[in-house]
Amino acid sequence: MDAPNRSHLDWKVAGAGFSLLPVGVGVVTGNPLLGVAAVCCLLLAVGLVYPFATFASESE
């Protein structure tokens, strides 16, 4: 099954959300280091889940 094509707006919205994550966490907690830690945890989670998600979509 072919992957759905994403529009440019989808990528812009996703990029804005990812770029605002460390700023939001840093502002809320008052510690910019926690913002960086939040991004690292998110990237780790996406890196661990993404291969399984693509494998599951290919088998359907």
Question: Is residue 43 assigned to a domain?
Answer: yes
Question: Is residue 18 assigned to a domain?
Answer: yes
Query: pLDDT band at residue 17, thresholds of 50, 70 and 90?
Result: confident
Question: Is residue 27 assigned to a domain?
Answer: yes
- pLDDT value, residue 1: 47
Total structural domains within the chain: 1
Question: Is residue 1 assigned to a domain?
Answer: no
3-state secondary structure the chain: CCCCCCCHHHHHHHHHHHHHHHHHHHHHHCCHHHHHHHHHHHHHHHHHHHHHHHHHHHHC
Question: Is residue 51 assigned to a domain?
Answer: yes
Please give the residue range of the domain that contains residue 24.
8-59
Q: What is the pLDDT of residues 36-59, one digit of tens each?
A: 888 888 888 888 887 777 666 665
Question: Is residue 2 assigned to a domain?
Answer: no
